[in-house]
Amino acid sequence: MNSLTELFKKKTSKLLSIYITAGYPKIDSTVGIIQSLQNKGVDFIEVGFPFSDPLADGPVIQQTSNQALSNGMTLELLLDQLKEAASDISVPLLLMGYLNPVLQMGMETFCRKAGEAGVSGVILPDLPIEEFEDQHTDLFRSSKLHVIFLVTPETTLERIKKIDRLGSGFIYAVSASSTTGRQDSFSRAQTDYLGRLNSLNLKNPVMTGFGIHNSKTLQTVWEYTSGAIIGTAYLKALMKSTSEKQAVDLLFQQLGLDN
């Protein structure tokens, strides 16, 4: 069974996912970072493969992506690294990135290599759901890869239901209509939006990302949805740290999780 599916059968609330940039800070850093996060008890990890034009990402993720590209990281190299280390990785992995590198590799090759590398699912923010429905549904299902789609406060109820029907694994709720990065706190409008999602009785759990960086924002997200996805706050901790372990310890302290 897909390891992300197994996770959500065992745990339905207070999940924590961390986003990392593959190939940052060094080209061979990715596996060590994954292992440090799984040792800390993170529920699953989103591994971002860098792209030269990350439209939905804030300045920190753009900075790490640019460094990773300068280091020589590619989607093919990442999949090779994950495959080689698969026996040492127990936490579910998702690949997150943009469609262009996937199309350059070829969708069938990408799905095959992702499966061989032990990947549980993919998040491709610029893959239109209509294109997925028309061209790729059978391929991803036969490859046993979840495809996760994003919703925002502006997403209509009709489209949310379509995403819930066609996507799998979970729904990625973007907490605000902006690029990724730090926000001081969640507004009433944001919590109302998360509450509406929670009230829809969707078949897929909802994970919330963007703007989660301290205990208050984490607890708010945990109150309204199944879990939190944290990227910028972790990457900032990594920039300040001298080791992968120190970075995750610093993040957990920031989130109020080190008791």
Q: In the structure encoding, which two tokens stand for residue 66, read together?
A: 């640019």
Candidate list 43, 46, 164, 244, residue with the active-site label = 46
Scored b (16 or more CB within 10 A) or e, 58-93 reads bebbbebbebbbebebbbebbbebbbebeeebebbb
Candidate list 43, 57, 164, 244, residue with the active-site label = 57
Q: Are 234 and 251 within 8 A, CB to CB?
A: yes
Q: Is 228 helix (H, G, I), strand (E, B) or coil?
A: strand
Q: Measured between alpha carbons, how far apart are the two ends of the chain, in Å? A: 34
Strand boundaries in the chain, DSSP class E? 15-21, 44-48, 93-96, 121-123, 146-148, 150-151, 171-174, 206-209, 227-230
46 among known catalytic residues = yes
User: In sequence order, what are the residues at sequence separation of 6 or more whose Cβ sits closer than 8 angstroms to the Cβ of residue 259?
Assistant: none
57 among known catalytic residues = yes
Q: Is 211 helix (H, G, I), strand (E, B) or coil?
A: coil
- E strand or H helix at 22, and its extent? none
Q: What are phi and psi of 110, to 5 degrees?
A: -60, -50
Q: Which amino acid is at 119?
A: V
Q: Distance of CA 49 to CAs 64, 65, 101, 195, 237, Å?
A: 11, 8, 9, 31, 19
Residues annotated catalytic, as ranges: 46, 57
